[in-house]
Amino acid sequence: MNSRRDFLQKLTASLIILNLPGQVSAYAATSGLNTQTYDGPPLRVAIMGLGSYGSRVAEAMQACKKAKIVGVISGTPSKISTWQSKYNIPAKNCYNYENFDDIKNNPDIDAVYVITPNALHRDQVIRVAKAGKHVICEKPMGLNAKECEEMIDACKKANVKLLVGYRMHFEPNTVEIINQRSRGEFGRILSFEGGTGFPIGDPTQWRLNKALAGGGSLMDVGIYAVNGARYMVGQEPVWVTAQETKTNPAKFKEGVDETIQFQLGFPNGAIASCVTSYNISLDRFVLNGDKGFAELRPAFGYGPIKARTNKGELSFPHVMHQTTQMDEMAGIILGNNKPVFPVDGEEGLKDLKVIDAIYLAVKTGKKVPLSL
């Protein structure tokens, strides 16, 4: 019954090892990516927030086939002129944080990618929606579930699409493991372990400022463990417990978490056990079932992502995550393609509901029920 699938898997494995020309189509067949095509004009994107991640996205987009940078929104005129010459951006497509509502009169921009500090996402996304443009918003989508609901409502009212920058949803090793889990190859899922963390530097950066970050490591990288637990297990959690450890209260002030351990319970009895930290290097997901396991290590960094299962290693070729993400998102926005895993506002909202529950569990010390 599974002979076609087994054949494709074996074929893919051998093509990857031998690096033969058929690799791309076999890769698409097993990863579930690039199977829908969008052959229309490219998605014309303006990037809001020309900081470190905005710059990474812009570089990666140079290899995109379906998405193109055509505009910028920034508060720093010198950055605007550097980006203009680097990416050939006309002056009429450059805005600042005061006047970007005027983008509504610009027919040459389809979408705005919001890549600013977390606390700014809500208002900026709502303003972009009111200007009638599609929005891609970086993670975490908002500071809490209520903000996400307001953003979703605004985009619905304006009839524009809202996507969240979940690049891992397009990463081939990750997608392949999720596909294997969906096909039952690991059996009944029993547990997930997720570690996401890095030792954060400069104590004056916005990530350590509660007003701009909305929290600490959980908001920034813990969200990958929350999201990863959901896509790896393939169910929505029904309860949360959580504990916080703070070794440096001078650096990690009130409301800025340094390390949080959290546990999620799933309807079938599976449990997730996760650690997120601004003090410990952590980048690993493990999924355990009664017939097998999968490990991603690294699991959420910029790659190459490394994956193995009880059957051996996966070795998909490394592609810049943001290149694939933006090409796929162009297909979703302009071609109405359906992604293998959702990257819409509802998906962002679910993660913030879990995060709200984690913070509540830390505060109360109690098990918090969840209904996603």
Host H or E run for residue 287: strand 282-289
Are the beta carbons of 124 and 332 closer than 8 angstroms? no
Task: Give the contact letters, 180-219, x = binds to ligand NAD (CB under 6 A), - = no.
Answer: --------------------------x-----x-------
Q: Tokens representing 350?
A: 């679910």
Is 359 among the catalytic positions?
Answer: no
Residue type, 130: K
> For residue 270, how many other CB atoms are within 10 A of its CB?
22
225 binds ligand NAD (CB under 6 A): no
276 binds ligand NAD (CB under 6 A): no
Of the candidates 12, 23, 116, 279, which one interacts with ligand NAD according to CB under 6 A?
Answer: 116
Q: Tokens representing 316?
A: 């998909």
**Closest approach of ligand NAD to the CB of residue 321, in Å:** 7
49 binds ligand NAD (CB under 6 A): yes
- Total binding residues for ligand NAD by CB under 6 A? 19
Of the candidates 112, 115, 154, 349, which one interacts with ligand NAD according to CB under 6 A?
Answer: 115
Is 302 among the catalytic positions?
Answer: no
Degrees to nearest 5, angle at CA 101 with 99 and 103: 100
In angstroms, rounded to a whole number, what is the distance separating the alpha carbons of residues 126 and 85? 29
220 binds ligand NAD (CB under 6 A): yes
Q: Tokens representing 264?
A: 């999620």
In angstroms, rounded to a whole number, what is the distance separating the alpha carbons of residues 66 and 78? 28
Contacts (CB under 6 A) with ligand NAD, residues 125-184 = 138-139, 165, 167
75 binds ligand NAD (CB under 6 A): yes
Task: Catalogue the E-assigned strands of 42-164.
Answer: 43-48, 67-73, 94-95, 111-114, 134-137, 162-164
- Give residue number: closest CB to ligand NAD: 51
Only segment of 112-120, 231-239, 243-251, 337-345 that touches ligand NAD (CB under 6 A): 112-120
CA distances from 80 to 70, 170, 179 (A): 12, 30, 42
Q: Which residues lie below 8 Å from residue 315, measured CB to CB, with a gap of 6+? A: 13, 16, 17
What is the chain's Cα-based Rg? 21
Only segment of 49-57, 126-134, 233-241, 307-315 that touches ligand NAD (CB under 6 A): 49-57
Catalytic pick among 38, 95, 113, 224: 224
Between 41 and 75, CB nearer to ligand NAD: 75
Between 167 and 353, CB nearer to ligand NAD: 167
Between 98 and 290, CB nearer to ligand NAD: 98
In angstroms, rounded to a whole number, what is the distance separating the alpha carbons of residues 24 and 258? 42
259 binds ligand NAD (CB under 6 A): no
Between 26 and 60, CB nearer to ligand NAD: 60
**Closest approach of ligand NAD to the CB of residue 165, in Å:** 5
124 binds ligand NAD (CB under 6 A): no
Task: Catalogue the E-assigned strands of 159-281.
Answer: 162-164, 189-197, 239-245, 259-265, 271-277
Closest CA to 243 of 260, 221, 264: 260
Of the candidates 8, 13, 16, 53, which one interacts with ligand NAD according to CB under 6 A?
Answer: 53
Supply the DSSP symbol for 338. P
- Report the catalytic residues: 139, 224
Contacting positions for ligand NAD (CB under 6 A): 49-54, 75, 115-118, 120, 138-139, 165, 167, 206, 212, 220
